[in-house]
């Protein structure tokens, strides 16, 4: 930092926020719904023992995998680095214009 200038990088640490967590928990609930509709006893038992218990290994693996995949997908869809560059360049260019006095 020279002459009192500061630097600013306009990126969030977590671009996706909590949206991947919401999507992952919603997607993890679909097998629970299917096990209540489908009359297969083996599917119902597996879902009840593995996907309804948040401390079970399968639940943790699926939940973590879904969060990582949804975070990647959400950031890939919403974040466009070329538009960031264009917006920051146009902001700098427009800040130098002076208003009024078109004599």
pTM as predicted: 0.63
> Exposure string (b/e) for 21-51, b if CB count within 10 Å is 16 or more?
eebbeeebeebeeebeeeeeeeebeebeeeb
- What is the residue-level pLDDT of the chain in tens, covering all 103 positions? 556 666 666 666 677 788 889 999 999 999 889 888 988 899 899 888 888 888 888 899 999 999 999 998 888 888 776 765 555 555 544 455 556 655 5
| Contact between 65 and 27 (Cβ < 8 Å) | no
**Residue 61 CA: distances (Å) to CA of 24, 51, 52, 100:** 11, 10, 13, 62
């Amino acid at each position: 930092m020279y002459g009192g200038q500061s630097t600013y990088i306009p990126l969030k640490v977590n671009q996706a926020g909590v949206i991947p967590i919401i999507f992952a928990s919603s997607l993890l609930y679909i097998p629970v719904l299917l096990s209540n509709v489908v009359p297969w006893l083996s599917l119902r038992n597996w879902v009840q023992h593995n996907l309804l218990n948040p401390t079970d290994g399968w639940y943790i693996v699926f939940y973590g995998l879904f969060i990582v995949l949804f975070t990647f997908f959400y950031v890939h869809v919403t974040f466009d680095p070329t538009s960031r560059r264009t917006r920051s360049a146009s902001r700098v260019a427009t800040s130098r214009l002076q208003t009024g006095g078109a004599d």
